[in-house]
Amino acid sequence: MGGHIHVAGVAGVGMSALAQALCWTHDRVSGSDRLLDRGHSLPVLDALRASGVKLVPQDGSAVNAQTEAVVYSTAIEEGNPDFAAARRAGVPLRHRAAVLAELAKGKPVLAVAGTAGKTTTTGMLGWTLEQLGADPTVINGGALVDWAGPGRVGNVRRGKADAPWVVEVDESDRSLLNFHPAWSILTNISQDHFTLAEVQDLFRTYAAQVRTGIVCGAGVGAILGTQQAQIVEMAAQPERTDDGFAVAWRGMKLAGRQPGAHNALNALLAAEQCAQLGYAPEKIAAALGRFGGIQRRLERVDKDGPVRVVDEYAHNPAKLAAAWTALSVPGRRILGAWRPHGYGPLRAMLEPLTDALAGVCRPNDRLWLLPVYDAGGTADRSIRSDALATRLQDRGIAVEVAENLDALGAAMMREVRPGDTILVMGARDPRLPVFARDMAARTAGLKKENE
C-alpha cells in the first residue's frame, strides 16, 4: 500500500473515478475541488466521502513532504494552490492518465478510445463482462445507472485480481498514449480538440501501441492503415424498432434500451469485443439488453412526467447533433440548453458547432446557450457563447444566451408546456445534472397532454 496521495479537481468525472481506485492502493487519499470551496453540495462529493476520499480545501494545505504525489488532469491550470504547495514540498505532480496506467500495469487492459461514444461503450463493455462472470475492474468517465447509488459514484468497479481492466482512455489531451492495452475498442475518429489530421495521426500512434486487436467502427480501419494489432472493423445500419434501434450481429438482432442509432453502434462494438474474448454471442446479446445506461448520456431524469427531462454530456458537434436527433420525435418540441466546456474548444469548433446545431434544431425547437464553463486561470476569453448564438440566429435558429442557470430555469419555465422535452447538455460543470433534476421537479406538476 502507498501512503498519502492527493487528487486536485476531484469532482471531475475522470478524477472522481481515479480517486476511488487510489483508495484500493493507498492508506490515505485526499481530494480538493473549487466547487467544494464555493460551497456547492453535489452528489459526487457525498459519494467520494463515503468511498473513503478525504475532501479538503483547494488551498495547498493537504500537501506536505510526506505526500507521495499530487494527481491532476489537463483541466487544472498552473496557478492551482495545490501545485504550488507540491513544488514547495518537492512532491511530484503526476497526470491522471499516467497514474491510471500505472495502476493497470501488468493487467489485461481492454481500453476504449474514440472521439465519441467511448464512455457509453466502456460502460457497456464493463457491464456485459460483469454479467458474463468475468468480474472485471472498470474505470470509466461516466457513472453506470445500475452501479450508482448512495455512497457510490458508479463510475468504478473493483474486480478480481486476474480479471480484465476495462478503462476509458482520452484523446483530448493525448493522454491515451500512456496506455499499451491488450485490446482496444476505437469507436470513431472525427474532429474535436485538434484538427482532423492531428486527430487521425494521434489515433494511428495509439493503435501502434495496442498489442492484440482493435475493434473499431466503420471507416476507422482505413484511417489506421496497417497495424501490428488485428483490426476488426464493424459496419452496420441501425434499424428502428418499437423501443429504439437494433443492429444485425452474428446472426441475431442486437438491441439495447438506450435511445439513438449511435448507441446501437456502441453496443455493436462492445458485443464484438466480448465475442473476440471468447464469450457466447447469445449471452452477450442478453447481457447488453439489460444494460441500464450511463448517467448524463441521454439519461432521462423525470419520473414519467408531463415533460421529458434528459441530462446529456454532449460537448462537441457530433455528440450534440446525435443527442438532439435521438430525441427529435414528431410532435414533441425540444427545449435544449448547452454550456460550452471551454473557451479553446468553442473557438476551435465554432463553425462545426454552428453547422451541427443548425442542422438538428427544428423550427419549433428552442435553444439556450449558457456562458462558457470557466475553470479559471489564464484562458483566452475573447470568444464567448454569444458568438455562437449570433451565427445560429443568422441561420434562422431560435436561440438566446442565458446569463446563468437561474435565468435559464426561469426562461424554460416560461416556455415549456406538456409534451415538450427539456435537454440539458454540457461537460465539466457538475451543476448541470443538478439543474436537470431541478427542472424535472419544477415541471412535474404540469398536466399531461391527455389530461
> Which sequence spans correspond to the domains of the chain?
2-95, 104-288, 299-443
Report CA-CA distances (Å) from 175 to 97, 169, 228, 402. 6, 7, 21, 34
Helix (H, G, I), strand (E, B) or coil at 246: strand
Instruction: Please tell me the predicted confidence (pLDDT) of residue 333.
Output: 97
> What is residue 193's predicted lDDT score, i.e. its pLDDT?
67
Contact assessment for residue 110 and residue 214, using Cβ atoms and an 8 Å cutoff: no
Residue 435 in this model has a pLDDT that exceeds 50: yes
* pLDDT reported for residue 304: 87
What pLDDT shows up at residue 66? 95
Contacts with 348 (C-beta within 8 Å, 6 or more apart), sequence order: 193, 194
Q: What is the pLDDT of residues 389-398, one digit of tens each?
A: 999 999 999 9
Q: Which of 142-151, 246-255, 330-339 shows the lowest mean pLDDT across its residues?
A: 142-151
DSSP letter assigned to residue 71 = E
Place of cell 475492474: 137
Q: State residue 41's pLDDT score.
A: 75
The per-residue pLDDT for 301 is 92
pLDDT digits (tens, 9 = 90+) for 171-216: 888 899 999 999 999 999 986 667 888 989 999 999 999 999 999 9
In this predicted model, what pLDDT tens digit does every residue of 243-292 receive, in sequence order?
A: 778 999 999 999 888 878 889 999 999 999 999 999 999 999 999 999 99
d(CA 55, CA 49): 7
Average pLDDT, the chain: 92
Among candidate residues 245, 292, 287, the one with its CA nearest the CA of residue 265: 245
CATH for 299-443? 3.90.190.20
Q: Which fold has domain 2-95?
A: Rossmann fold (3.40.50)
With beta carbons less than 8 A apart as the criterion, state whether 433 and 311 touch: yes
Largest CA distance in the chain: 66
Cell of 215: 475493434
CATH class belonging to 104-288: alpha beta
Q: State the average pLDDT over residues 309-335.
A: 92
Residue 451: pLDDT above 60? Answer: no
Nearest C-alpha neighbor of 422 from the set 313, 300, 262, 317: 300
Per-residue pLDDT tens digits for 9-38: 999 888 999 999 999 999 999 999 988 888
CB 187 within 8 A of CB 118: yes
The whole-number average pLDDT for the span 81-91 is: 95
Q: What percent of the chain has pLDDT over 70?
A: 98
User: Which range, of 40-49, 102-111, 415-424, averages the lowest pLDDT?
Assistant: 40-49
**What is the C-alpha separation between 308 and 300, in angstroms, rounded?**
7
